[in-house]
Structure 1
Amino acid sequence: MKDNFSKQAAEYSKFRPQYPDELIDYLVSFVKSKSVALDIATGNGQVAQQLARFFETVYAIDISQNQLDNAIPSDNIIYKVAAAENTFFKNQEFDLITVAQAVHWFDFDLFYKEIYRILKPDGLFAVLGYGLFSTNEDSDKILRNFYYNIIGPYWDAERKYLDENYKTIPFPFDEIVTEPFVNHFTWSFEELIGYLETWSATQHYFSKNNKNPLDLIYDELKISWQKNNKKVLFPLLLRIGKLK
């Protein structure tokens, strides 16, 4: 698994959008037993925090200690450094395993072999994520140009799975048909820029060119943002499966 986010863990924790409670409530409604859950590639622990409302114990793992250092502590969450494809858990340990906005970074064959090992026979596995957001028409033109043209060449190849709304990832499970969800925010300009700076392609551009690609659109985007409604809409991605 790639680690694209350790260097910016604090920004990631601050600016990455949360998943709505409605989505987590919906996911958990399919789970029979609520003893132990696992959130893989937990990052700042946002999904683990939400799962902690329902489960007696939540394990949350990430390959980045820096990310875990920025995660919010909770009495029933156990944070550990571990790779998604090679965990230290016992066989058939979890009622629910989640991975949010990260499955596209994994070695699918190794990862799913591990899921089949550590998930209980009647447990559930869920992939969560969010696609490219949209906003007002004026700002969208600027942001689409930034996404596809300015930093387009700097996205990792795995990003295509998100662009395809996780519909093309391997998913070797008996899948449960799910309802669509959308997340709505009203963002200040600082929140917008903060989020764009957490994109891996933004960071790759900066590393390669030693300058921030957001400087190329900053002034135009700021004018556009201030004169419009500042609303942001994220299509949410959710796939739930049982062991075959």
Structure 2
Amino acid sequence: MKATIDNFSSQAGGYARYRPSYPEALYTFVLEQVPNKQRAWDCGTGNGQVAARLAESFEEVYATDISEQQLAHAIRTPNIRYQVSRAEQTKLPDRSVQLITIAQALHWFDFGHFYQEVNRVAAPGAVVAALCYGLLQISPEMDEHIGTFYQQTLGPYWDKERELIDEAYATIPFPFEEMAAPAFTMHYSWNLEELTGYFNTWSSVQKYIRARQENPVTELAEKLKPYWGDETEKKTITFDLHMRIGRVK
């Protein structure tokens, strides 16, 4: 089985504060595919933002992650059951869940073993939805600096799995009865501090800091300031969202 990778425990607090949330239209689409809303499993739940939204619609939500620190910062509701476990090996009951969500996490998994676990815990006709988002957009000038930062400054510090996000999950094996998914876009209003806070949640930034004892986000922020103006001003941040969705055969 593929070795466990935990790139997010060290910045769990920032992850909970700065990571973007998903649009309601996406949840509406996914939930429309699941008529029986007894139990859902949010796998690689991180700070629990998807689990918390599913908990509004499902009787019970299982939410798993390998990071105890992430779960310590997760959103709490009475019907969410948090568990520290690998995606490929959980304590969930057989044939117990009608929906399985994986948000910005599938690329870390051992696909073969994870899909075995999905088939074990999925109730008949269960839906599997895998979500990811790539690089944000602000303006042509700032996007150019951010692209250079992403590809060149941080290039050696990204895990190889990041390529799967760059490919919008199109190359990930997905052995389910796949259905067409609409295109979704996420829009946020962030000031410069919120933007740099988000960059600091990147695993590559944390690896850069450990290797070189300096934070590359500081230099990027200086390059963005002339285009930003008042650092407290909110600017529109856009992410393109990608989804693979299907039914367990």
TM-score (structure 1 length as normaliser) = 0.97
Contact 2:190 2:234 in 1 (8 A): no
**DSSP-derived class of the 1:129 partner:** strand
1:118 partner amino acid: V
Deviations 1:119-170 (A, max 9, x none): 1121111101212111111111110110011111110000000000111111
Question: Which residue in 2 is equivalent to 1:236?
Answer: 241
Question: Which residue in 1 is equivalent to 2:182?
Answer: 179
Where does the alignment leave 5 or more consecutive residues of structure 2 unmatched?
none
Question: Which residue in 2 is equivalent to 1:114?
Answer: 117
Give the whole-Å Cα distance in 2 for the aligned partners of 1:242 and 1:212: 43
Give the whole-Å Cα distance in 2 for the aligned partners of 1:153 and 1:26: 37
Question: Which residue in 2 is equivalent to 1:100?
Answer: 103
Q: Size of the alignment, in residue pairs? A: 244
Question: Which residue in 1 is equivalent to 2:134?
Answer: 131
Query: Which 4+ runs in 1 deviate beyond 6 A?
Result: none
Q: CA RMSD in A?
A: 1.2
1:77 partner amino acid: I
Question: Which residue in 2 is equivalent to 1:195?
Answer: 198
Q: 1:88 Cα deviation (Å)?
A: 0.9
**DSSP-derived class of the 2:64 partner:** strand
Structure-to-structure mapping, 1:73-84, within 5 angstroms: 73-84=76-87
Q: Does 2:70 correspond to 1:67?
A: yes
2:51 partner amino acid: A
Q: 1:223 Cα deviation (Å)?
A: 2.3
1:234 partner amino acid: F
Of 54, 73, 87, the match for 1:51: 54
Give the whole-Å Cα distance in 1 for the aligned partners of 2:248 and 2:15: 32
Question: Which residue in 2 is equivalent to 1:16?
Answer: 19
Give the whole-Å Cα distance in 2 for the aligned partners of 1:229 and 1:210: 30
Give the whole-Å Cα distance in 2 for the aligned partners of 1:3 and 1:226: 36
Of 35, 39, 43, the match for 1:36: 39
Give the whole-Å Cα distance in 2 for the aligned partners of 1:76 and 1:226: 44
Of 72, 90, 94, the match for 1:91: 94
Give the whole-Å Cα distance in 2 for the aligned partners of 1:25 and 1:53: 12
Question: Which residue in 1 is equivalent to 2:149?
Answer: 146
Give the whole-Å Cα distance in 2 for the aligned partners of 1:23 and 1:218: 31
Contact 1:11 1:198 in 2 (8 A): yes
Contact 1:96 1:123 in 2 (8 A): yes
Percentage of matched positions with identical amino acids: 45
Q: 1:229 Cα deviation (Å)?
A: 6.9
Contact 2:103 2:131 in 1 (8 A): yes
Question: Which residue in 2 is equivalent to 1:212?
Answer: 215
TM-score (structure 2 length as normaliser) = 0.95
1:80 partner amino acid: Q
Q: 1:66 Cα deviation (Å)?
A: 0.6
Give the whole-Å Cα distance in 1 for the aligned partners of 2:38 and 2:31: 12
